[in-house]
Structure 1
Amino acid sequence: MEKTKVVIVGGTGYLGQHLLQAFAGDRYDVAFTHHSPLYHLLLDAFPHFSAFPVDIKTGLGFHSISQEFGQPDVVVNCAALCIPRVCEQDPDSAISINVPFSLVNWLSSFQTNKTLLIHLSTDQVYQGIKSFYKEEDETLAVNVYGKSKVAAELLIRDKCQNFAILRSSIIIGPQTVSPLPKNLLVQWIDSVLQKGDTVDFFHDEYRCPIYVKDLVSIILKLIDRWVLSGDKQMRLILNAGGPNRLSRVQMAEVVAQVRGHDLSLIKHVSASSVDLGVVSPADISMDISKLIQTLEISPTSFKDGVRLTLQSESHPHILS
């Protein structure tokens, strides 16, 4: 049986690395793009995968993939400038990285429309003034990051024939094969509470965090559906969040309960009392019933996701 050819754009990032782990079996022929020195460790971990340096801003490097790897069946776009404060400070970079002009141009260069683009968007496309947004609700982002991701969705819907856009919430889960410099939410909460310091958490900012392996499963199911479909047509937008609507305080409390930390260390503050240098939407919790019905999945609860994350941190050699 012919292997499914998959290209992961942004393979050195958090989700990208978890996808590489999932693709390590023999069903897939995998290539990933990188724009960071982390990729050397990934080549050691996944010697069968091809790595291509690509500048997502200019598109330099995509042509090499066509020549050496060929037309992929599926491209998963994980590349993004995703720290809202950084996007606010450098809107030009946010637009040129987050709106994938060069990637879309590369896909349109193929003679046949047999490539599916799975694009990672964000819950920050929503305005944040109500609970449980649905996919068809208006996207009125309140910061540069969210606006760049709205623009990306519009570009893909306009220019791509086949796509699945996943509006991901905060992703929680174990550290990656090649550890990332940024703080991972659950690990960070655990480490600050472990020190015994009091920490401020927002009680009035709501999200639906998703366990990383659920997001990987969603992507694998979309790929299987695409490979098996005869007519090769997919135009999907899905909210990709977890099953629980939680404030930052509630997230911290779950970590504290799982680890036995002192709950009194968690100080409740309002998001409006802190200037983070960026407007943050208050409530971008998402209705995920379409995701559950379309892909027949049952997402991991936040508490179980926290348990699994912290278990894997104490057994870092377990990569399953």
Structure 2
Amino acid sequence: MSKRRVLIVGGTGYLGQHILQSFANNPDTISTVSLAFTHHSVPPPQPLLNAVPHALPFRVDLRTGDGLDAVSLAFGQPDVVINCAALSVPRVCEMDQEAAMSINVPTALVEWLSSFRESNTLLIHLSTDQVYEGTKSFYKEVDETVPVNVYGKSKVEAENYISTNYQNFAILRSSIIYGPQTISPVPKSLPIQWMDSVLAKGEAINFFYDEFRCPVFVKDLVAVIQILTNQWISEGKQMQLLLNVGGPDRVSRVQMAEAVAHVRGYNTSLIKPVSASSVDRGVKSPSDISMDISKMLQKTGFSATPYREGVRLTLEASS
């Protein structure tokens, strides 16, 4: 049986590297899956290339689709495409709406997938909890999407574009992703590592007590992606799936920091609760976008890592 082809779009980012590593290190997939990834930076980092030596790198510009033809020629039609590429910093999206829309709405990618004679590739697309308005707790997938910022709007636009123009997809609305650093460290600050570094200094620091999310451990998100990939490869049943992918705990930034302090043994009195409304971040932020993840658990048969356990695993990995 020929190997199945899996393409990770945005393979040099935080989630992309974790997915690449999980496929490359999994004995079940090494012999059955051919891997490729796209990157926008030139060239991809050497530590990543060393860690996933069999994965083919391709430089692709998602705005124009430039580079996708090279993927067709050298790699062929993928069986699964996992799209992690995004402009995901809300403040940056607010400042450059055009870039947010052109990068986050994958028109060129969907057109490319539709150009194959049998356009039956499974597209797994990463969306966000920021599609929700943030006025209640535990949003379900059927709830109305009323994003309050450009980032959320670009992601709703992407969901609508995919579901209207493509037949075989799984859209994953991810919460804050946390976990160990990647093989090639990403430039953006990681939430748990940042909290650890500021609390380690022993200085008091402000955290919001009135913004709630369901942070998801990166290895859980990767596991969900692998389960969906395996389902498609083994069963070949077309999907049109929308899933909230969060952790099992609804936490504020104060509670997130307290878990770090408990695991590390820091003094929790350093954590000063303040209201999110007291800080101007240059972008509107939804206050409670905690998610109901029961559909994800039912579809995947997977059990999500409790937040404090995920924090412990993250900090152990970085010690």
TM-score, structure 2 as length reference: 0.97
Distance 2:184 2:55 in 1: 15
Q: Look up the SS of the partner of 1:200 in the other structure.
A: strand
Q: CA-to-partner distance for each residue in 1:59-86, whole Å, 9 max, x for gaps?
A: 0000110111000000000000000000
Distance 2:34 2:264 in 1: 40
| Ranges of 4+ aligned residues in structure 1 off by more than 3 Å | none
Q: CA-to-partner distance for each residue in 1:22-62, whole Å, 9 max, x for gaps?
A: 11041310000001146132212211110000001110000
Determine the structure 2 residue equivalent to 1:4: 4
Determine the structure 2 residue equivalent to 1:271: 276
Aligned pairs for 1:88-103 (under 5 A) are: 88-103=94-109
Amino acid at match of 2:58: F
What's the RMSD between the two structures over aligned residues?
0.9
Determine the structure 2 residue equivalent to 1:64: 70
Determine the structure 2 residue equivalent to 1:29: 34
Distance 1:297 1:47 in 2: 30
Q: Contact between 1:55 and 1:61, CA under 8 Å: does it hold in 2?
A: yes
Determine the structure 1 residue equivalent to 2:310: 305
Q: Look up the SS of the partner of 1:120 in the other structure.
A: strand
Distance 2:262 2:226 in 1: 32
Distance 1:199 1:38 in 2: 38
Q: How far off is 1:280 after superposition? A: 0.1
Q: How far off is 1:291 after superposition? A: 0.3
Q: Decide which of 185, 188, 208 is 2:191's aligned counterpart.
A: 185
Determine the structure 2 residue equivalent to 1:293: 298
Distance 2:169 2:204 in 1: 45
Q: Contact between 1:38 and 1:178, CA under 8 Å: does it hold in 2?
A: no
Determine the structure 2 residue equivalent to 1:317: none
Amino acid at match of 1:10: G
Q: Contact between 1:76 and 1:118, CA under 8 Å: does it hold in 2?
A: yes
Distance 1:113 1:234 in 2: 13
Distance 1:38 1:213 in 2: 26
Amino acid at match of 2:106: P
Distance 1:155 1:117 in 2: 13
Determine the structure 2 residue equivalent to 1:250: 255
Amino acid at match of 1:16: G
Determine the structure 2 residue equivalent to 1:115: 121
Q: Contact between 1:12 and 1:38, CA under 8 Å: does it hold in 2?
A: no
Determine the structure 2 residue equivalent to 1:86: 92
Distance 1:292 1:92 in 2: 36
Determine the structure 2 residue equivalent to 1:318: none
Q: Contact between 2:42 and 2:59, CA under 8 Å: does it hold in 1?
A: no
Determine the structure 2 residue equivalent to 1:13: 13
Q: Look up the SS of the partner of 1:44 in the other structure.
A: helix
TM-score, structure 1 as length reference: 0.96
Q: Contact between 1:72 and 1:115, CA under 8 Å: does it hold in 2?
A: yes
Distance 1:313 1:37 in 2: 27
How many residues are treated as equivalent by the alignment? 313
Q: Decide which of 51, 56, 61 is 1:55's aligned counterpart.
A: 61
Q: Contact between 2:131 and 2:145, CA under 8 Å: does it hold in 1?
A: yes
Percent identity reads 64
Q: CA-to-partner distance for each residue in 1:235-255, whole Å, 9 max, x for gaps?
A: 000000000000000000011
Q: Decide which of 40, 45, 50 is 1:40's aligned counterpart.
A: 45
